[in-house]
Amino acid sequence: MRYSESTLSQLNELLPTRSDLLANAGLRCVLECTNTTSSGAIEHLTHGAGRRLGLLQHSLQNVFRLLPPTAAVPLERDALNDVQVNLHAFFINLVGLFDNLAWVFAHHHGLSQFLSKPLSVGLFKSDFQKHLPTPLRELIGSEELSNWHKTYLKNYRDALAHQIPLYVAPSVIYERDRNDYDALEAERAKLEQEWQFDLAADVREQQTKLEHPCFSFIHSFAPGASIGHVYVHPQLLADAFTATSVTNAFFDSWQAQA
């Protein structure tokens, strides 16, 4: 479905502000290096979290450029592939950002029990959270953020890395047009079987007029595999806000432990 005019207005308003939030959070990663003497923490601040925030900003802008919320016709295949490449880049760096922040904390505070077991390091891991300062632990452990991580971030990350990658369909057919589209498809198939390819091409042209750009993404279509179709533009803007909110909350308290 197309976005409403009010939604389009909100998306256009939020894109530059969320982009600026990501840029400012990336800058803060560099500035916070003065608050630690740990080379490991500095590496994860600059080459880890800092780089990822820059890539999140770039990927966010690219998705909006390649698939404008105002698009009226489906994208060409190459453009659609580029949308998915940037969606994948955004998502994997979103996940990695939180891991980098956890590594910063572990290195800065010399948490050897975690540094010796890399798989135990993570802001969303319960044993690790016990060491976080109270304000950060309460934010990460809040019902809203915990549910977001469990049902969305982890689910879609695992699919992207190990199972079915995130996918934006080439086009969508509105329900009101489905019968007409299917009838044209049957006619086109019949014409191709009869080797009447010019007429089949004309029918295909009629079908394209019933196709609309897809503004959502998913991974597996299997029942229960995911939370279903997610709208690209509002979700990425929301994720950008979550990323910067957690990053800034982390820097506001990372010098302390529980």
CB of 160 within 8 A of CB of 91? yes
Phi and psi for 70 in degrees, rounded to 5?
-95, 0
* Angstrom distance (rounded) from CA 62 to CA 42: 29
* Angstrom distance (rounded) from CA 47 to CA 45: 6
**Residue 1 pLDDT more than 80?**
no
- The pLDDT, as a whole number, for residue 14 is 98
- The pLDDT, as a whole number, for residue 225 is 86
Q: Apex CA 162: angle with CA 250 and CA 224, to 5°?
A: 90
- The pLDDT, as a whole number, for residue 160 is 95
- The pLDDT, as a whole number, for residue 97 is 98
CB of 39 within 8 A of CB of 33? no
Biggest alpha carbon distance in the chain?
75
pLDDT digits (tens, 9 = 90+) for 181-195: 899 999 999 999 999
- The pLDDT, as a whole number, for residue 181 is 87
10 Å CB burial of residue 166 (0-12, 13-18, 19+) is buried
Whole-number percent of the chain with pLDDT over 70: 100
* Angstrom distance (rounded) from CA 36 to CA 55: 24
Whole-number percent of the chain with pLDDT over 90: 90
pLDDT digits (tens, 9 = 90+) for 184-240: 999 999 999 999 999 999 989 998 898 999 999 999 988 888 888 999 999 999 999
Using pLDDT thresholds of 50, 70 and 90, give the confidence band for residue 258.
confident
